[in-house]
Amino acid sequence: MNDKKLYSPKVMKDILDKYGFKFSKGLGQNFLIDGNIINKIADTAELDEKSGVLEIGPGFGTLTQVLCGKAKKVVAIEIDKSLERVHKETLNYDNLKIIYDDFMKIDVNKLIEEEFKGLDVKIVANLPYYITTPIIMKILEEKYKISKIVVMVQKEVAQRLNSVPGSKDYGAITLAVQYRADTEIAMLVPNTVFMPRPKVDSAVIEFNILKAPRITVEDEELLFSVIKASFGQRRKTLLNGLCNNLKLPKEIVKEALENVDIDPGIRGETLGLDQFGRIADELKKHLNL
Ligand code: SAM
């Protein structure tokens, strides 16, 4: 497969200058310049000739180069069309297709079906930090047929995605992730490996998508409404959080919580996914939703 030498930071800068490229802070453009980190990201994704890779935001394309060298096919989605001229010079790979569009607007299920027939699909990206959470939520909610996600995110976001009940980082998104995937922080990354350097440190987080959701519930939508409601007002009790945010009568919620042996006076952020599942199923019975 393709195996070309990576561009040095100096050559990258010269090529970007040649095409008058200006880094956009608004689009989260911090390009990777460290070959070791780039190779580690690709290694974490465990790519081979049966892999299809969807990359979000190829930027200059250093990570894309390595992905093209290891996977059968890569489809990269880049919002910034001004990079097209750069890509024409740097990303000449037979197994690469670049789509210039906003990832948030793309029908990714359709794309995966059309572009990656018979391949084991993985999402690999150094995500633009301004939109990390919406991108991860889109991937999880739209239930793509993929086996793995390997993404660089802000260190704090990685910690939140990988946290446990009761910790300060634990949030509704942690549970949304746990519902569908096992997570692991593959490595912490200093800001020195980017051009330009972001103010924050980063981490690469790996999601291994479960074959079926971690718990089975009657009504998935209600589960996530219950989770959001419980985290909506962090200092409130679980009972108040659920009543206020779901607009439900206190007696019903209190009874439902007691039926599943959960103290209505505790705070929602101390509960695990299993317990939220039991609450959602019990509320469903009470409300006949
Ligand atoms: N992958 C490159 C690397 O590692 O050097 C660039 C990573 S940079 C952090 C994020 C990239 O995502 C930028 O190229 C940016 O233009 C692109 N981007 C930002 N928002 C996007 C969106 N909504 N859809 C697709 N690409 C986006």
Q: Is the CB of 27 under 6 A from ligand 1?
A: yes
Burial 57-73 (b: 16+ CB within 10 A, else e): bbbbbbbbbbbbbbbbb
Residue nearest to atom 21 of ligand 1 (CA): 79
Q: Is the CB of 52 under 6 A from ligand 1?
A: no
Length in residues, the chain:
289
* 30 Cα: distance to centroid of ligand 1 (angstroms): 8
Tell me the CATH number for domain 9-209. Answer: 3.40.50.150
Q: Is the CB of 131 under 6 A from ligand 1?
A: yes
Q: Which of 31, 132, 138 to mutate to test the pocket of ligand 1 (most atoms within 8 A of CB)?
A: 31
Report helix, strand or coil for 289.
coil
Residue nearest to atom 11 of ligand 1 (CA): 57
> Which ligand 1 atom sits closest to the C-alpha of 38?
4
* Tens digits of pLDDT across the chain (289 residues): 445 678 999 999 999 999 999 999 999 999 999 999 999 999 999 999 999 999 999 999 999 999 999 999 999 999 999 999 999 999 999 999 999 999 999 999 999 999 999 999 999 999 999 999 999 999 999 999 999 999 999 999 999 999 999 888 999 999 999 999 999 999 999 999 999 999 999 999 999 999 999 999 999 999 999 999 998 776 789 999 999 999 999 999 999 999 999 999 999 989 999 999 999 999 999 876 5
- pTM for the complete prediction? 0.93
Count the neighbouring beta carbons within 10 Å of the beta carbon of residue 172.
Answer: 18
pLDDT of residue 232: 78
**What sign has the CA pseudo-torsion 85, 88, 91, 95?**
positive
> Which ligand 1 atom sits closest to the C-alpha of 104?
23
Q: Is the CB of 68 under 6 A from ligand 1?
A: no
* 127 Cα: distance to centroid of ligand 1 (angstroms): 6
> DSSP string spanning 64-130?
HHHHHHHSSEEEEEES-GGGHHHHHHH---TTEEEEES-GGGS-HHHHHHHH-TTSEEEEEEE--GG
> Which ligand 1 atom sits closest to the C-alpha of 59?
14
Q: Is the CB of 31 under 6 A from ligand 1?
A: yes
* 77 Cα: distance to centroid of ligand 1 (angstroms): 8
Q: Is the CB of 66 under 6 A from ligand 1?
A: no
Give the domain 220-287 fold. Answer: Helicase, Ruva Protein; domain 3 (1.10.8)
* 279 Cα: distance to centroid of ligand 1 (angstroms): 39
Count the neighbouring beta carbons within 10 Å of the beta carbon of residue 262.
Answer: 19
Q: Is the CB of 281 under 6 A from ligand 1?
A: no
What are the residue ranges of CATH 1.10.8.100 in the chain? Answer: 220-287
What are the residue ranges of CATH 3.40.50.150 in the chain? Answer: 9-209
